[in-house]
Structure 1
Amino acid sequence: MSGKRHRRSLTEEERRLWRRVGRTVTPLRDRDVAMPDSENLGREFLDAMDTAGPQDGPPARDRKSPLARRYAPPPPPPKPSREPGIDRPTTRKLAKGRISIDARMDLHEMTQDVAYDRLYAFLADQRSRGARHVLVVTGKGRSPGSEGILKRMVPVWLNSARFAGLVSGYTQASRHHGGEGAIYVRLRRLSHPDGSLRP
Structure 2
Amino acid sequence: MTKDKKKISSNDLKLWYQIVDKVEPIKKRDNPDIKDQEQSSIDAGSIISRDVNQKKIIKKKISKDKAAIKLAPSKVPIKKDELLKFTGIHRRLEQKMSRGQIDIDSTLDLHGMTQEEAKHATINFIKVANKNNLKIILIITGKGISNENTNTRYKNRYERGVLNKNLPAWLQMPEVRDYVNGYRYANQKHGGEGAYYILLKA
Matched, 1:116 2:123: no
Q: C-alpha distance in 2, partners of 1:84/1:162?
A: 18
Q: Name 2:194's counterpart in structure 1.
A: 181
CA contact (8 A) 2:141 2:195 kept: yes
Q: C-alpha distance in 1, partners of 2:104/2:190?
A: 10
SS at match of 1:143: coil
CA contact (8 A) 2:136 2:197 kept: yes
Residue number among 147, 153, 158 corresponding to 2:166 in the alignment? 153
Tell me the amino acid that sits aligned with residue 116 of structure 2: D
Identity across the alignment (%): 35
Tell me the amino acid that sits aligned with residue 124 of structure 1: K
Tell me the amino acid that sits aligned with residue 130 of structure 1: N
CA contact (8 A) 1:84 1:168 kept: no
Q: CA deviation at 1:181?
A: 0.2
| 1:68-99 CA-partner distances (Å, limit 9, x unpaired) | xxxxxxxxxxx968515234421332455643
SS at match of 2:113: coil
Greater RCO, CA 8 A, separation 6+: 2
Matched, 1:163 2:169: no
Tell me the amino acid that sits aligned with residue 167 of structure 2: V
| 1:40-89 CA-partner distances (Å, limit 9, x unpaired) | xxxxxxxxxxxxxxxxxxxxxxxxxxxxxxxxxxxxxxx96851523442
Q: Name 1:128's counterpart in structure 2.
A: 131
In terms of fraction of residues, the more helix-rich structure is: 2
Greater Rg over alpha carbons, structure: 2
Q: C-alpha distance in 2, partners of 1:106/1:90?
A: 23
Q: CA deviation at 1:127?
A: 1.0
Per the normalisation by structure 1, the TM-score is 0.50
Ranges in structure 1 where 5+ consecutive residues have no aligned partner: 1-78, 190-199
Spell out the pairing of 1:26-37 with structure 2 (5 A cutoff). Answer: none
Q: CA deviation at 1:159?
A: 2.5
Q: Name 1:83's counterpart in structure 2.
A: 84
SS at match of 1:109: coil
Matched, 1:103 2:106: yes
Q: Name 1:56's counterpart in structure 2.
A: none
Per the normalisation by structure 2, the TM-score is 0.49
| 1:127-172 CA-partner distances (Å, limit 9, x unpaired) | 1111000010000014334421101000111133332111110000
Q: CA deviation at 1:122?
A: 0.6
Q: C-alpha distance in 2, partners of 1:96/1:130?
A: 24
Q: Name 2:58's counterpart in structure 1.
A: none
